[in-house]
Amino acid sequence: MTQIRSPLPDSRGHFGSFGGSFVSETLMHALEELREAYGRWSQDEEFVRRMDEDLAHYVGRPSPVYFAARLTAAAGGAQIYLKREDLNHTGAHKINNTVGQGLLAHYMGKPRVIAETGAGQHGVASATIAARLNKSCRVYMGETDIERQAINVFRMRLLGAEVTGVSSGSATLKDALNEAMRDWVTNIDDTFYIIGTVAGPHPYPEMVRDFNAVVGREARRQMLQIQDDLPDALVACVGGGSNAMGLFHPFIEDRDVQMFGVEAAGRGLASGAHAASLCAGRPGVLHGCRTYLLDDDAGQIRHTHSISAGLDYPGVGPEHAWLKETGRAKYVSVTDDEALAAFHQLTRLEGIMPALESSHALAYGFKLAAEMRADQSVLINLSGRGDKDVETVAALEGLTL
Ligand SMILES: *Cc1c(COP(=O)(O)O)cnc(C)c1O
């Protein structure tokens, strides 16, 4: 884990006018402790070595960059490459971050970890690392999500985690996040809160980005090896934004590399049933930081919708808000139907079943490649595998398993 000395965020967690930490006095104290510990251990030789070892032998890194020949032929434009985060242990990029935060909890001497989860993917990744490091683990999950994601709930329990249902608000991810924050405030001494994406108060957006930046560091090296040049464009889906930030970060100074973040347009931006915070939202404060979010005229957080539970979040990491404002990255959106079509397309053309989240990146990457020249290249982050989504896809198409 070679640290990239990034100028942002500043010492108080600001990315321009975004980020920061809008939390209670008690939480301020916990965040300060975390900030100091992260600053110290991320520079510690033994910590970095253990992190690298875990990424290699437990997660299975480096993940390959795969040239998608048939997908490229079908698009008829730029060469399409896939960064295979779907091949990681537990099936997505999320484990990169939980390995890092789990190890940090260990070095800080915290015997208990907590996490919030929507679809259950981050909950499973957290329960996995808690089992390995022998820590007690509680995962907060909305009651609505518990019903929708029974298999992941069972997985977490098999791993020894306690899954606590949250019935407040819409009983989904944002409510689970609030409840986890409340737990943390009451149990600061023995508890480490593992946040699952680049959102939340400082230092989470920076720390989660750094733990996921291994994706971009590898991809940069791999693309140079494969084609002796960097890709012309990077494409990644954006829920909270951790897989996209992880891929983008090591390329930020490479001005010739375009970056595209793909949000969930759900049933279409005009329908209101979507989760496209950057494309259709406005700046405000959510979960302890200033960022783009989806709210109504009264300032209430709106109900979101996406075919993929992992993109179904009414906010986004503050660094993405900054990249949007500065124009360094572009943010676009893809509907449920387009993502579903891309899911089938990759499955049939390449024998790779993508997560529905990643299918959003694939749908846009394919359109983009089609408009580019054959001597150009597009690298798409395949953030996770689709096994978890088979039931959803079957249900959408009126089939039963
Ligand atoms: C959770 C998840 C996402 C969305 O989270 P980000 O923080 O935006 O990366 C994307 N893809 C997969 C496979 C996921 O599990």
Contact 360/334 with Cβ under 8 angstroms? Answer: yes
The H-or-E segment that residue 174 falls in is helix 173-186
Options 3.40.50.12280, 3.40.190.10, 3.40.80.10, 3.40.50.1100; CATH of 22-56+94-208? 3.40.50.1100
Partners of 18 in beta bridges: 15
11 Cα–ligand 1 center, Å: 27
Residues 255-269 pLDDT 10s? 999 999 999 999 999
Round to whole Å and give the CA distance between 107 and 122.
21
DSSP class of residue 92? B
Please choose from 311, 364, 388 the residue to mutate so as to test ligand 1's pocket, defined by most ligand atoms within 8 A of CB: 311
Model confidence pLDDT, tens digit, residues 204-229: 999 999 999 999 999 999 999 999 99
**pLDDT of 152 strictly over 50:** yes
Atom number, ligand 1, closest to the C-alpha of residue 384: 13
Q: What is the pLDDT of residue 3?
A: 47
Q: Specify the fold of 62-91+213-396.
A: Rossmann fold (3.40.50)
Res. 4: pLDDT tops 70: no
290 pLDDT tier (thresholds 50, 70, 90): very high
User: Mind listing the pLDDT tens digit for each residue in 97-107?
Assistant: 999 999 999 99
Q: How confident is the model at residue 6 (pLDDT cuts 50, 70, 90)?
A: low
Model pLDDT for residues 313-326, shown as the tens digit of each residue: 999 999 999 999 99
- C-alpha span between 280 and 277 (Å, rounded): 6
Instruction: Name the closest-CA residue to atom 3, ligand 1.
Output: 310
Cβ 149 under 6 angstroms from ligand 1: no
Contact 96 CB / ligand 1 (< 6 Å): no
The more confident residue out of 38 and 397 is 38
Question: What does the mean pLDDT of the chain come to?
Answer: 96
Q: Which atom number of ligand 1 is nearest to the Cα of residue 208?
A: 7
Query: Which residue, by CA, sits nearest to atom 10 of ligand 1?
Result: 357
What are the residue numbers of the active site?
A: 94, 116, 383
Ligand 1 centre to CA of 122 (Å) is 9
The two domains 22-56+94-208 and 62-91+213-396 share their CATH topology (first three levels equal): yes
The answer, yes or no, to whether residue 1 has pLDDT greater than 60, is no
Binned at pLDDT 50, 70 and 90, residue 96 comes out as: very high
Q: Is 355 near ligand 1, meaning CB less than 6 Å away?
A: yes
- Phi/psi at 31 (5° precision): -70, -35
Q: What does the domain layout of the chain look like in residue ranges? A: 22-56+94-208, 62-91+213-396
